Chains A and B, each alone.
Chain A
Amino acid sequence: MGDLLSGYRTLAGPDEIFAPDGTIRHAYAEFAERLRRWDADDYRARQAASDLEQLNGGVTFTVSQDQAGTERIFPFSLIPRIITAEEWAVIEAGLVQRVTALNRFLTDLYGDQRSVRDGVIPPELVEGSAGFNPHMRGFIPPLGVWAHIAGIDLIRDRDGIFRVLEDNLRTPSGVSYVLENRRTMLNVVPDLFPTGSVAPVDEYSDRLLEMLVAVRPAGIDADETRAVILTPGSYNSAYFEHSFLARQMGVELVEGRDLLVHDHHVYLRAITGLEPVHVIYRRVDDDFLDPLVFRADSALGVAGLFDACRAGNVTIVNAIGNGVVDDKVTCRFVPDAIRYFLGEEPILPNVDTYVGALPSDLDFILANLGDLVMKPSNASGGYGIVIGPQASRAELQAARERLRSNPSGYIAQPLQEFSTIPAFDGERLEPRRADLRPFIVTGASSWVLPGGLTRVAADSVSYIVNSSQGGGSKDTWVLRPARKA
């Protein structure tokens, strides 16, 4: 009978459970007490029960490179990330601040670009950005909201401070796993939960639906607002989530072929005739939304959808064109945008970022690549990343050449020794680097889902947490404030 928590070795970065002196951090005190009742066999049995539950429930994702559309469960670890009420209050305020500024930033960039003239961001990084959509110039979405659902990736650095790694303002995914992970935890390891102090997460779908109704086009009553979710289809890697959210909200899940645009209004092809649609929560990328305006070869979208949106007859959630502020390049300028639009200091700092498009940054990256992590500016899913300290001489040389030939295609950040959380490797607990993607829903106001998706790397060497790279996830507990005696 070994205690699961004894003999745990930490990595260079901080650990969420263990303080540097080897003691258990306050947030984990009660949890650790409960976990100590288990040995490795107990853990294995619970893990098997959890995997089976997710497999039977079809809580799976489709591996995108695989043409056959193989479904897998997202590796799930039973050790949660625990965040104290005090820590969460800071994160929550920082996220609301950031999303508020980003929405103002978008309205400005597609409007009169005052912020560009005032030097917040160089003009060539706006209109030259792949995410800038010239068709959206002059557009203002209902309530001025572009990023209705934001997923902002955070890491906790060496000093214990949460920093923003990346903004996801297009179609961030993962929230269904937050809800399913909690359900699995409650079913499989109810004995690990501290007594009555973890914030629930199942409010998400109500908040989402409330937001979809709040951003309806002008002139439509709340009661008659018809919202739908638009999915690329069942072969999409996030299909489970699309279907999950439709079920949770009780709205129709549609594909492009189920919709039709007539006279700048959008309709659903129902069996009894056409029915009007007012709000579309789309999980289809901008480029595929409307073959008349974007990619003509796309069969996933709806012809005429863009014009219906610009005419103000349908609200597209998230708005078209958000890519201009959520790529890895513009991330660097968001703290300045917060200062510029809100007149406040950013509550959540960025991870230091150098962008190849700025000459001074470019020189810095070329000189220090061995200490930096270089990423393509416009890719997601953890593809194409070069980790300087782990790369060979030849790999570094190749990366420098790619950077020189296309400087604006890359950004670099110092290698972050971000925090680890234990995961079970079959025998014992091992540290895994983990990030946190909280979800912010913005309609008339912003609401932050308590916690978010904690993603963990596949092994103790890796710095990449994406599911496409074998990463897994954990439940995230936000503790409620301690009751005053």
Chain B
Amino acid sequence: MLSRVAENLYWLGRYLERAENVARMAEVNYNASVEQRATGGDDAELWTALIGALDAEEEYAAAAAATPGLSPGDWLIFSEANPNSLRSTVSLARSLARELREHLSREVFEEINLLYLSAARAPHTAGMRPFTASVKRTVAAIVGLFDNTVLLNEGREWLRCGLFIERADMTSRIVDAKYFILLPSPEDIGGTLDTYQWMGILRSASALEAFRKRYRGAITGVRVAELLLLDDDFPRSLRFCVSALIRHFERATEATPRHQSLPAARELALLQLDMGAAEAEAIVETGLHEFLDLFQARLARLHDAMTEGIFLAVPTATSAR
């Protein structure tokens, strides 16, 4: 498989997963903000928290200054000027799919293309719900179609690597959003508002139902952290994503010469060590935000190691067979 193709499949996995996550986060936020307004509260803080968790405060501030009245929701979902908006992410995924077309099945390409065509037409005025709902459904369809209609070679493994590294990053950001929503006072910890906010975090990660099944009692920060960071069986938890990443990375690089000594393999081993030793109570005690920051930094290093050490590595002429 061409290095360029492997890299593009990896990025396709990232963009698809990113689109799905942004759609879900925005949807939950939108519902919560409608509720806030209906009950007379201020919904602006919810959007500020989401934008903060996505590390996009500066970009949004600049865009809002240039276009007065630009709502954070529109900027996150529809803005073509925002390279990370849902619409832009869908466009990026589709350009990659077009470049990769001979590595996808007709069915997979058509789903991505249809999503892109509907994104190009999605009107602001109808609200974000129809668009976000179609993104969530279509991404699931694409991932499923890929596994059922495409030759399952190392290309599929690179797509999965992209998907799980993005999911790990996104889940960590969803949990981190709690850090950006301030409680009025320290006494509110464990109170109704606190619980309500954690519930929003669970919804953003499609994890509320899983939480109910896992725990009988109250929604607390420690339990949310345990489920979203460390649960072995919940498919969006950080630990689950890291295990999946390791599995797919090993399969993707099986035939790569000296694959065990690749810098990316080392970064993955470090991530696994971190996750193996972690305990929810200790994490919350010493600082959830700090833990997540460190985790995100490790993912970024892993990404760089894959890009520099694998996709862009110049094969030497002597390695010709």
Other-chain residue from B102, B106, B315 in contact with A246 (beta carbon distance below 8 A): B102
Interface range on chain A (Cβ under 8 Å from partner): 20 to 34
Q: Which of B195-227 contact A (CB under 8 A)?
A: none
Q: Assess whether B113 is in contact with A253, with CB atoms less than 8 Å apart.
A: no
Closest to B253 in A: A271
- Complex Cα gap A329–B258 (Å): 57
Other-chain residue from B102, B117, B154, B315 in contact with A274 (beta carbon distance below 8 A): B315
Of the listed residues A265, A267, A272, A276, the one surrounded by the most CB atoms of chain B closer than 10 A to its CB is A272
Q: How many A-B residue pairs have CB under 8 A?
A: 79
Q: Assess whether B101 is in contact with A267, with CB atoms less than 8 Å apart.
A: no
Q: Closest Cβ of chain A: how far from B183's Cβ, in Å?
A: 48
Q: Assess whether B2 is in contact with A273, with CB atoms less than 8 Å apart.
A: no
- Complex Cα gap A20–B287 (Å): 88
Q: Which of B1-25 contact A (CB under 8 A)?
A: 1-6
- Complex Cα gap A276–B113 (Å): 34
Known: A56-B110, A58-B113. A276 touches B320 (CB 8 A): yes
Closest 6 CB pairs of A and B: A262-B317, A246-B102, A274-B320, A247-B102, A273-B319, A243-B101
Q: Assess whether A56 is in contact with B319, with CB atoms less than 8 Å apart.
A: no
Q: Closest Cβ of chain A: how far from B308's Cβ, in Å?
A: 14
Q: Closest Cβ of chain B: how far from A274's Cβ, in Å?
A: 4
The residues of A that contact B95 with a CB separation of less than 8 Å are 234
**Which B positions have Cβ atoms within 8 angstroms of A?**
1-6, 95, 98-99, 101-102, 106, 109-110, 113-114, 117, 154, 255-257, 310-311, 314-315, 317, 319-321
- Complex Cα gap A276–B110 (Å): 33
- Tell me the interface secondary structure of chain B in the complex: helix
- Complex Cα gap A263–B317 (Å): 9
Q: Assess whether A271 is in contact with B109, with CB atoms less than 8 Å apart.
A: no
Report if A371 contacts B (CB, 8 A). Answer: no
The residues of B that contact A262 with a CB separation of less than 8 Å are 317, 320
The residues of A that contact B257 with a CB separation of less than 8 Å are 272-273
The residues of B that contact A258 with a CB separation of less than 8 Å are 2-4
Cβ contacts A to B, 16 pairs, < 8 Å:
A57-B106, A58-B110, A234-B98, A244-B101, A252-B102, A257-B4, A262-B317, A263-B317, A267-B317, A271-B1, A271-B2, A273-B321, A274-B320, A274-B321, A276-B320, A276-B321
Residue-wise interface mask of A (255-297) relative to B, using a CB-CB cutoff of 8 A (1 in contact, 0 not): 1011010110101111111111000000000000000000000
Q: Assess whether B154 is in contact with A271, with CB atoms less than 8 Å apart.
A: yes
Q: Assess whether B2 is in contact with A58, with CB atoms less than 8 Å apart.
A: no
Q: Which of A31-80 contact B (CB under 8 A)?
A: 55-58
Report if A254 contacts B (CB, 8 A). Answer: yes
Q: Assess whether B4 is in contact with A255, with CB atoms less than 8 Å apart.
A: yes
Of the listed residues B102, B106, B109, B319, the one surrounded by the most CB atoms of chain A closer than 10 A to its CB is B102
- Complex Cα gap A275–B310 (Å): 16
Q: Assess whether A273 is in contact with B315, with CB atoms less than 8 Å apart.
A: yes
Contacts A56-B110, A252-B2, A273-B319 given; 20 further ones with Cβ under 8 A? A234-B95, A239-B98, A243-B102, A244-B101, A255-B4, A257-B4, A258-B2, A262-B320, A263-B317, A268-B2, A269-B2, A269-B4, A270-B3, A271-B2, A271-B3, A271-B6, A271-B310, A272-B257, A274-B317, A276-B320
